[in-house]
Amino acid sequence: YAGSHECPCVSAIHRSQWIAFPGAPNSQSANFHMPFLNNRVGFGLNLQRDQIGPTNSYWANMAYAYRIPFKKGKLSIGLSASMRSYNVDFTNSTAIDPNDVAVMNGNYNKILPNLGAGIYYLHDKFYAGISVPYVVKNDLSFSQIVGNSDFTIEEPHYYGMFGLKLGNEKIAVKPAAMIKYVKNSPMDLDLHASVIFYNTIGVGGTYRLGG
């Protein structure tokens, strides 16, 4: 997706869940991407923070995409590299079971590198893509359980998406779908539809099926 537009793009997002609930999740993200070399190469940068309970994560992601032009669209082949600072502060946590080895004492931190890849095709009337943003199975644990040292291994997540744009410059309808899969978990399907007025304002909704 990096460099898929014909100009630099900047965005910022903040999300808060379960407001006023102690340890509630909240996230911030800042994104930038733009094309280079006559739109044949795209570059992207993403900075992100996630806080959930005692965990705090900071991400820095860099993306590169090589764009192959076709008669009526462009195919982008992308690679990404990321670095994650993963922190768990157990100082305010109390274990229900005092023998629970997953709840420790102190403040712990890990630096976790990762890689990702994807393919994205963009046409004036539709788009489609598949991706695996993180392929390295990092271990998030700070302790070892006897006989099982990989009880918090991250699994790669697989995404597939497709969308259409039907109509004209005054009013258009844009249905879209995204499939999300990870090993040993239910598959998710997001169905989306929006109405776009004068290529400027869009109104829509999303329904999620699955896990």
* In the predicted structure, residue 101 carries a pLDDT above the cut 90: no
* In the predicted structure, residue 128 carries a pLDDT above the cut 70: yes
Tell me the pLDDT band of 61, cut-offs 50, 70 and 90.
very high
Q: Identify the pLDDT of residue 63.
A: 97
* Contact in structure between 64 and 80 (CB atoms under 8 Å): yes
Sign of the CA dihedral running 52, 29, 73, 195: positive
- The pLDDT tens digits for 65-90 are 999 999 889 999 999 999 999 999 98
Which of 166, 155, 160, 156 has its CA nearest to residue 195? 166
User: What percent of the chain is predicted at pLDDT more than 90?
Assistant: 69
Provide CB contacts within 8 A for 178, sequence distance 6+.
Answer: 159, 160, 161, 189, 190, 192
Q: Identify the pLDDT of residue 144.
A: 61
Mean pLDDT across the chain: 91
Q: How many CB atoms lie under 10 A from the CB of residue 12?
A: 10
CA gap 17, 50 in Å, rounded: 12
- The pLDDT tens digits for 188-205 are 999 999 999 998 999 999
